[in-house]
Amino acid sequence: MLWQAIQEWLPIQVKTRKRKHSLRLIINAILYVAKAGIQWRMMPNDLPNWSLVYYYFRKWSADGTVEKIHNQLVIQVRLEAGREASPSLGLIDSQSVKSMSMTTQKGFDGNKKIQGRKRFIVTDVLGLLLALSITEANVGERAGALVVLAKLGNRFSRLKTILADQGFDGVEFIANVKTQFSLIMEVVCQVLGRSRVRVKGFTVLPKPHRRTGWIVERTFAGPPVRLVFISPTALQGLRSQTHSFRGIYLLDNDTNHVPQSS
């Protein structure tokens, strides 16, 4: 079960007193905030107190627990889907979203005419997050790509190719990616046989690039189907848009208000 997989990676603490709330309920409360996009103080009363939930969230984020759990769940989901633990193909994309006026980390995206933040993601062909980076909206595609690719590290031994749209094009940039990360960056215009020539208007992509191109877009905007753990900074960026973020859902629990995964 999913909960057993998560529980295995939670820090073992010496009990000095009996817990008032189970860690499973704490996890559900964290995911409730992530999916609903609400402030911590707006959590329902039938969940643990917001300050307690926030304490665990910050603690597990700081000590790397959330990242460990996320990475293990990605592997588990891939294996259950009949795939290798490490993907061989990654998909990269970015999206600019409006942010709150009180936020200091923001900029203006001149192309999208949006004041806020930009999130860069790398997914596999299942739409599972492999890496995530939140920047100011004025950060360019190639500059942000270097940041998010660096977060991949050496976790995926089979990962050799990254598929991207034309915003990530550039001979020097592609060569830089290959030198720094030993990754081959395939850009849409190159797939179409038009190297370094921007494609204007609508063009039908050949398979499998058409199917994989849709996957990363669905990860931004599609319905939630998988469990994803994210850092506090990343959560702030994800919550800046109104619709739900693909990849987050709540664990099954005996609380009535928590929806089951679909």
> Given a cut of 60, is residue 164 above it in pLDDT?
yes
Q: For the segment 33-81, what is each residue's pLDDT rounded down to a tens digit?
A: 988 889 999 999 989 999 999 999 999 999 999 988 989 889 999 999 9
**In the prediction, which pLDDT does 223 show?**
43
pTM exceeds 0.75: no
What is the rounded CA–CA span in Å between residue 93 and residue 163?
Answer: 9
> Given a cut of 50, is residue 231 above it in pLDDT?
no
Confidence of residue 183 (pLDDT cuts 50, 70, 90): very high
Q: For the segment 89-142, what is each residue's pLDDT rounded down to a tens digit?
A: 999 999 998 887 666 788 999 988 999 999 999 999 999 999 999 999 999 999
The stretch 203-208 carries a mean pLDDT of 51
Of 212 and 117, the structure prediction assigns the larger pLDDT to 117
CA angle 132, 136, 139 (to 5 degrees): 90
- Which of 1-10, 154-163, 188-197 bottoms out in mean pLDDT, i.e. has the lowest? 188-197
**In the prediction, which pLDDT does 248 show?**
37
Q: Report which of 54, 130, 53 is spatially closest to residue 89, judged by C-alpha positions.
A: 130
> Given a cut of 70, is residue 22 above it in pLDDT?
yes
Per the prediction, the chain carries an average pLDDT of 78
> Given a cut of 70, is residue 259 above it in pLDDT?
no
**In the prediction, which pLDDT does 161 show?**
94
**In the prediction, which pLDDT does 93 show?**
93
**In the prediction, which pLDDT does 184 show?**
95
- Which contacts qualify for 50-54: CB closer than 8 Å, 24 or more apart? 52/21, 52/26, 53/26, 53/29
**In the prediction, which pLDDT does 16 show?**
67
**In the prediction, which pLDDT does 131 show?**
94
Q: Which tokens hold the place of 143?
A: 């500059």
- Which of 45-49, 63-67, 160-164, 188-192 bottoms out in mean pLDDT, i.e. has the lowest? 188-192
Q: How many CB atoms lie within 10 A of CB 98?
A: 17
Q: What is the 3-state secondary structure (H, E, C) of the chain?
A: CHHHHHHCCCCCCCCCCCCCCCHHHHHHHHHHHHHHCCCHHHCCCCCCCHHHHHHHHHHHHHCCHHHHHHHHHHHHHHHHCCCCCCCCEEEEEEEEEECCCCCCCCEEECCCCEEEEEEEEEECCCCCEEEEEEEECCCCHHHHHHHHHHCCCCCCCCCCEEEECHHHCCHHHHHHHHHHHCCEEEEHHHHCCCCCCCCCCCCCCCCCHHHHHHHHHHHHHCCCCCCCCCCHHHHHHHCCCCCCCCCCCCCCCCCCCCCCCC
**In the prediction, which pLDDT does 188 show?**
73
